[in-house]
């Protein structure tokens, strides 16, 4: 039972620049909430470690982050699967779309997230809020990075 | 009745240690050199285990062992079993899938144990558990029991996830009666899934003695001997004489501590591997996804009525969710503990019940307070109540017209009711609940914008579980007698060893009352010993409201033997014929004379053996007995619930609760009342608050007390508890049993009351404020549409 949500951010930069930054591992690392490492392990594939808290459960997630459905410079899908050890797992992804707007770029996203194990047991009713906050954090940071 | 004898409201002897914090629970036990276990559990409902990498965990500080299903298999540790064989209607045996103590190959529910870490400290075990890497391939999960039979099989041996397709009764007779009925009431019922939530979570300590090669298991169990038998004979951990099981103080069970669980097996096994004691203490979150759950039935039920509201048939089809594996007694709960009670308190000529038991990727489901009988009562009492409403007959009157009035009564579904007076309990309950004044109270509620409803539940249960031959013929793998040993000390004090186990029932008091009453000695001179397989030779444990009817009966039988032997001793002392010795109020007398000997003099003489030779009489005074009941017992009664509902919010207040129960002979009315209180609270919990909810991925989303609502004191009114008594003719004291009655009676009473208030039968448990509010809105919409 996945939870879904969407949002958008107006960015003061041209679409090509936004696209380039969306594909820059250093930018992604600085934007993924709680991200400790993000190592390139293949084409459009990274190994990430991030520590996050969902409700009462704090977990260090380890897992792959993948970029798929690449459509430069219009958008892609960023998805990840995190193994939180004893806390369970979290999976999720966001479809990101870029369009020209008001001399800048409108970034819109649709997020889907799923959790399991102790995270789901204790944090199910908190997951929507937590996932929304994580997604918002990501894109707010990304907007800041774009602003530079 | 003496101040401490049968029928006296003696204060519980055990409470002093509990309320002063001196209880000794399993977690209070610390063994020298103890290590701690932490289980790694599947976060997925259904997943292939591709690999488990334990290397990193094994290298962590303090770690002694990291074990998986692979080591379990190579050490040839056997699977857990379900001990009650149920055959399908086509004669094929139930499909019992392998249940290893640690998952082998795949995990079948969230919480399924896939590995265990044993370390010096709990913190080290937890840290290392984080390092166990399990590579899962997630498989589609089967969650909804109603859809399980059309889903891919979880276990290869059970196509369509069907464990058995069982039936009981006469289908043709039921169909014919329904066809020719004046009226048929039909209901679709979901009996909601519950999490037992005993106050004390489960704990196990495995302790292997490398010197003697003996195992000891300290365990939160309701039946230490059954645990030993299963772990010895089926799991194959050790021969029975090399395994001692100790169940010290246990803080509530409600059925969930009957079963043999993976963790206790693993602690024993791991203890042998590391050569040190291994302790595991379950935390609350872990308990939610590992303790066997209760109920979880999906049912379609029909009741046929003939002239004058006479019930002519009941026909039931139930799908019972048994979860991912078959727990110890799970197969019996939706079959012989359920369908056999579908006659309720009523004379019903034709009954037919079909039960399909299914596997799902959820925690195993097994007996929970009432076990099958709450589900049966809910079916029968909802049908009767709704039938009365549909027929325009007063629900109490409809019940009266159909009551069984002569005993013994053979129902069409195995049970032979031995004694009862259902009209008496209905009458008394109606008076106490002031049913006559309900109309006025309803009008008063209406004046302040509230809805008011009244609901009955006339339940019956089969307790005193159970006659061994009878349950054997129905598939049980064990006999269900009970044992007792009465050890009289030279000074006349007494220890009673019982195979029953107390975990809240107050046996240390009630059992002692029976002995005090019989021997005429102070209750403080009697100790009740239980919960240790090295002390008590064998016993079947405590569940199914059996400790009074079966356990006390065994004690009475042993007391008979003690009295007979003591009379022989007294005869030598008083130089009289054995047949002339009378025993009363703790004194032996010679009939027709003033010669007498006190209890303590006789017991001393039994041991000093100065008055008789060894050839004449064996010294000592100690007798044992095994008591096997001849029939189930049939406690029954009438509970009446009155509710007031705020239609704007759906908030439902239980404003009145009357319980009039017939438990046969009552040993301690205060303890019995307490049992009724607890049972009703749990039944109200099921009806209004509690629900184990899985999402479609198989995640337990009501997996903590944040989301799983337990009943609290302010959810209940002051209960009015009273009794009627017809003695059980089947056991020496006429006891029927009281432990489960409240939980059996309550859900139907609550839902009957709420549906009476809101005017729709379309209301599922738990009837939360939100559910009641939504039902009220549905009724309003329908009324608007009709206008």
pLDDT tens-digit profile of B488-531? 999 999 999 999 999 999 999 999 999 999 999 999 999 999 99
**Same-domain pairing of B599 and B500:** yes
Greater pLDDT, A82 or B124 = B124
Range of the domain at A134: 3-147
Name chain B contacts of A124, Cβ cutoff 8 Å. 695, 699, 701, 703, 707
> Does residue A90 belong to the interface with chain B, where contact is any CB pair within 8 Å?
no
- pLDDT above 50 for B667: yes
Looking at the domain assignment, is residue B424 inside a domain? no
Handedness of CA B81, B285, B155, B476 (dihedral sign): positive
Same domain membership, residue B307 and residue B273: no
Contact B365, B292 (CB under 8 A): yes
The CATH number covering residue B221 comes to: 3.90.1170.50
- E-strand stretches of B437-556: 451-460, 482-488, 494-498, 526-529
CATH code for the domain of B446 = 3.30.365.10
Is residue B61 domain-resident? yes
| CB neighbour list of residue B699: distance below 8 Å, 6 or more residues apart | A1, A115, A116, A117, A120, A121, A124, B45, B110
For chain B, give the mean pLDDT.
Answer: 97
Same domain membership, residue B670 and residue B776 = yes
Cα three-residue angle B170-B176-B181, rounded to 5 degrees: 125
What sign results for the dihedral spanned by CA atoms B548, B550, B551, B557? Answer: positive
User: Do residues B173 and B350 touch, judged by C-beta distance below 8 A?
Assistant: yes
| B382 three-state secondary structure | helix
Quick check: is B463 in a domain? no
User: What is the phi/psi pair of residue B123, to 5°?
Assistant: -60, -40
Beta-bridge mates of residue B67: B116
Distance CA A47, CA B448 (A): 64
Answer yes or no: is pLDDT of B29 > 60. yes
Same domain, B564 and B694: no
Closest CB to B695: pick one of A1, A117, A118.
Answer: A1
A57-71 and A75-83 as β-strands: parallel, antiparallel, unpaired?
Answer: antiparallel
Q: Is B765 a domain residue? A: yes
Cα–Cα distance for residue pair B276/B443, rounded to 1 Å: 70
Give the domain range for residue B376.
142-191+295-403
- A122–B41: do the CB atoms touch at under 8 Å? no
pLDDT for residue A131: 79
Question: What angle do helix axes B262-274 and B224-233 make, rounded to 10 degrees?
Answer: 60
Residues B757, B680 within the same domain: yes
Given a cut of 60, is residue B556 above it in pLDDT? yes
Q: Which two tokens stand for residue B226?
A: 């059954």
CA distance B697 to chain A (A): 6
> Do residues B112 and B219 share a domain?
yes
Residue B579 shares a structural domain with residue B670 = no
Residue whose C-alpha is closest to residue B559's, from B505, B507, B551: B551
The pLDDT tens digits of the residues spanning B340-374 come to 999 999 999 999 999 999 999 999 999 999 999 99
Count of structural domains, chain A:
1
Instruction: Say if residues B193 and B400 touch (Cβ distance below 8 Å).
Output: no
Is B182 a domain residue?
yes
Segment B568-583 mean pLDDT:
97
Q: Does A124 touch chain B (CB under 8 A)?
A: yes
Distance from the Cα of B706 to chain A's closest Cα (Å) equals: 8
Render the burial of B545-581: b for 16+ CB within 10 Å, e for the rest. bbbbbbbbbbbbbbbeebbebbbbbbbbbbebeeebb
Model pLDDT for residues B278-312, shown as the tens digit of each residue: 999 999 999 999 999 999 999 999 999 999 999 99
User: Which residues fall within 8 angstroms of residue B592, CB to CB, at 6 or more apart?
Assistant: B580
Identify the three-state secondary structure at position B370. Answer: coil
DSSP reduced 3-state for B777: helix
Q: Same domain, yes or no, for B762 and B641?
A: yes
Same domain for B146 and B133? Answer: no
Q: Is residue B368 reached through a cis peptide bond, with omega within 30 degrees of 0 on the bond before it? A: no
Q: Where are the beta strands (DSSP E) in B311-374?
A: 311-321, 350-358
Backbone phi and psi for residue B763, each to the nearest 5 degrees, phi listed first = -150, 115
Closest CA to B747 of B333, B459, B353: B459
Domain boundary among B604, B627, B650: B627
Number of domains in chain B: 4
CATH code where residue A78 lies: 3.30.530.20
**Same structural domain for residues B696 and B712?**
yes
pLDDT at B125 over 50: yes
| d(C-alpha B283, C-alpha B180), whole Å | 56
Name the pTM for this structure: 0.95
Measuring CA to CA, which residue among A99, A105, A27 is closest to residue A67? Answer: A27
For residue B472, the distance in angstroms to the closest alpha carbon of chain A comes to 40
Mean pLDDT (whole number) for B534-561: 96
Give me the residues paired with residue A39 across strands: A47
pLDDT tens digits, one per residue of B194-242: 999 999 999 999 999 999 999 999 999 999 999 999 999 999 999 999 9
> Euclidean distance between the first and final Cα of chain B, in Å?
65
Q: Which residues of B touch A125 (CB under 8 A)?
A: 701, 706-707
- Is residue B461 one of the residues assigned to a domain? no
Q: Of B597, B627, B657, which residue sits at a domain end?
A: B627
Greater model confidence, B148 or A54:
B148
ipTM: 0.86
Q: Are B670 and B753 in the same domain?
A: yes
3-class secondary-structure state, position B174: helix
Q: Are B42 and A117 within 8 A, CB to CB?
A: yes
Q: Which of B129, B130, B701 is the closest to A124 by Cβ?
A: B701
Q: Which residues of B touch A118 (CB under 8 A)?
A: 43, 285
In contact, B364 and B325? CB cutoff 8 Å: yes
Residue B46 near chain A (CB below 8 Å): no
Domain assignment of residue B707, yes or no = yes
Mark which of B627, B662, B680 sits at the end of a domain. Answer: B627
- Phi and psi at B486, nearest 5°, equal -110, 115
For the segment B136-146, the average pLDDT, to the nearest whole number, is 97
Asked if B699 lies within 8 A of A115 by C-beta distance, the reply is yes
C-alpha dihedral, B69 to B72 to B78 to B79, nearest 10°: -20
pLDDT at B2 over 70: no
* CA nearest to B635, candidates B659, B671, B658, B670: B659
Residue B252 pLDDT exceeds 60: yes
B residues 106-165 closer than 8 Å to A (CB):
110, 126, 129-131
Q: How far apart are CA A80 and CA A103, in angstroms?
A: 32
Whole-number Å distance between alpha carbons of A133 and A115: 15
* Ranges of chain A with pLDDT below 70: 1-2
- In a mutational test of the B interface, the residue from A57, A89, A116, A123 whose CB has the highest number of chain B CBs within 10 Å is A116
Give the tens place of pLDDT for each residue, B38-69: 999 999 999 999 999 999 999 999 999 999 99
* Residues B214 and B102 both lie in one domain: yes
Interface of A with B in 49-68 (CB under 8 A): none
């Amino acid at each position: 039972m996945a939870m879904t949500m969407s949002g958008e951010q107006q960015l003061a930069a041209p679409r090509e620049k936004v696209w380039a930054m969306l594909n820059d591992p250093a930018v992604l690392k600085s934007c993924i909430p709680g991200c400790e490492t993000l190592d390139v392990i293949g084409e459009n594939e990274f190994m990430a470690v991030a520590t996050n808290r969902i409700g009462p459960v704090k977990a260090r997630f380890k897992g792959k982050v993948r970029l798929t459905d690449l459509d430069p410079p219009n958008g892609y899908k960023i998805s990840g699967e995190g193994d939180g050890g004893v806390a369970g797992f979290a999976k999720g992804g966001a479809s990101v779309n870029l369009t020209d707007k008001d001399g800048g770029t409108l970034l819109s996203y649709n997020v889907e997230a799923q959790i399991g194990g102790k995270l789901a047991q204790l944090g199910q009713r908190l997951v929507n809020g937590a996932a929304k906050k994580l997604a918002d954090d990501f894109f707010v940071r990304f907007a800041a990075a774009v602003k530079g | 009745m003496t101040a401490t004898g049968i029928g006296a409201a003696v204060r519980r002897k055990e409470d002093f240690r509990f309320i002063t914090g001196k209880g000794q629970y399993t977690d209070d036990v610390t063994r020298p050199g103890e290590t701690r276990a932490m289980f790694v559990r599947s976060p997925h409902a259904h997943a292939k285990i591709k690999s488990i990498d334990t290397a990193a965990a094994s290298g962590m500080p303090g770690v002694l062992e990291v074990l998986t299903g692979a080591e379990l298999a190579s050490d040839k540790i056997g699977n857990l079993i379900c001990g009650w064989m149920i055959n399908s209607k086509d004669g094929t045996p139930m499909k019992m899938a392998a249940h290893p103590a640690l998952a082998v190959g795949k995990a079948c529910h969230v919480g399924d144990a896939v590995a265990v870490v044993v370390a010096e400290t709990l913190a080290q075990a937890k840290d290392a558990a984080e390092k166990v890497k399990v590579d899962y391939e997630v498989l589609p999960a089967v969650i909804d029991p109603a859809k399980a039979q059309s889903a891919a099989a979880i276990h290869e041996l059970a196509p369509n996830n069907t464990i058995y397709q069982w039936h009981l009764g006469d289908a043709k007779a039921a169909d014919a009666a329904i066809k020719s009925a004046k009226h048929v009431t039909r209901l679709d019922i979901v009996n909601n899934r519950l999490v037992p939530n005993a106050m004390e979570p489960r704990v196990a300590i495995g302790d292997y003695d490398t010197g003697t090669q003996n195992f000891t298991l300290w365990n939160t169990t309701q039946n230490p001997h059954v645990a030993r038998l299963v772990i010895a004979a089926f799991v194959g951990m050790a021969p029975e004489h090399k395994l001692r099981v100790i169940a010290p103080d246990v803080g509530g069970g409600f059925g969930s501590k009957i079963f043999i669980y993976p963790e206790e097996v693993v602690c024993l096994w791991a203890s042998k591997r590391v050569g040190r004691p291994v302790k595991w203490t379950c935390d609350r979150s872990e308990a939610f996804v590992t303790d066997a759950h209760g109920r979880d039935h999906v049912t379609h039920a029909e009741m046929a009525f003939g002239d004058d509201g006479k019930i002519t048939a009941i026909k039931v089809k139930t799908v019972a969710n048994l979860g991912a594996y078959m727990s110890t007694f799970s197969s019996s709960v939706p079959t012989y503990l359920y369908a056999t009670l579908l006659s309720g308190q009523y004379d019903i000529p034709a009954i037919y019940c079909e039960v399909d038991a299914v596997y799902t990727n959820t925690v195993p489901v097994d007996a929970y307070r009432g076990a099958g009988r709450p589900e049966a009562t809910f079916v029968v009492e909802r049908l009767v109540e709704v039938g009365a409403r549909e027929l325009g007959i007063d629900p109490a009157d409809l019940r009266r017209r159909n009551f069984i009035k002569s005993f013994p009564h053979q129902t069409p579904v195995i049970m032979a009711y031995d004694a009862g007076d259902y009209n008496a309990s209905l009458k008394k309950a109606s008076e106490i609940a002031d049913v006559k004044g309900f109309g006025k109270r309803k009008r008063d509620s209406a004046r302040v914008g509230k809805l008011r409803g009244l609901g009955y539940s006339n339940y019956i249960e089969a307790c005193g579980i159970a006659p061994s031959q009878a349950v054997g013929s129905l598939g049980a793998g064990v006999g269900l007698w009970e044992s007792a040993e009465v050890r009289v000390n030279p000074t006349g004090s007494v220890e009673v060893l019982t195979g029953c186990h107390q975990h809240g029932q107050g046996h240390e008091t009630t059992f002692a009352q029976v002995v005090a009453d019989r021997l005429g000695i102070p209750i403080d001179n009697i100790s009740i010993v239980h919960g240790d397989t090295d002390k008590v030779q064998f016993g079947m444990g405590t569940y199914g409201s059996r400790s009074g009817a079966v356990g006390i009966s065994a004690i009475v039988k042993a007391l008979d033997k003690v009295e007979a032997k003591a009379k022989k001793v007294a005869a030598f002392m008083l130089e009289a014929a054995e047949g002339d010795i009378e025993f009363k109020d703790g004194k032996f007398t010679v009939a027709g004379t003033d010669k007498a000997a006190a209890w303590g003099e006789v017991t001393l003489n039994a041991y000093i053996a100065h008055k008789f030779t060894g050839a004449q009489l064996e010294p000592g005074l100690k007798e044992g007995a095994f008591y096997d009941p001849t029939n189930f017992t049939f406690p029954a009664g009438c509970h009446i619930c009155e509710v007031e509902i705020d239609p704007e919010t759906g908030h439902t207040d239980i404003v009145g609760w009357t319980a009039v129960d017939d438990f046969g002979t009552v040993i301690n009315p205060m303890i019995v009342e307490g049992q009724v209180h607890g049972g009703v609270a749990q039944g109200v919990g099921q009806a209004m608050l509690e629900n184990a909810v899985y999402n479609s991925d198989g995640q337990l989303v009501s997996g903590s007390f944040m989301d799983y609502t337990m009943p609290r004191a302010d959810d209940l009114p002051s209960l009015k508890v009273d009794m009627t008594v017809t003695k059980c003719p089947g056991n020496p004291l006429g006891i029927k049993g009281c432990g489960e009655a409240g939980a059996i009676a309550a859900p139907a009473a609550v839902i009957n009351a709420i549906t009476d208030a809101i005017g729709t039968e379309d209301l599922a448990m738990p009837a939360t404020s939100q559910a009641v509010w939504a039902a009220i809105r549905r009724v309003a919409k329908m009324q608007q549409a009709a206008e």
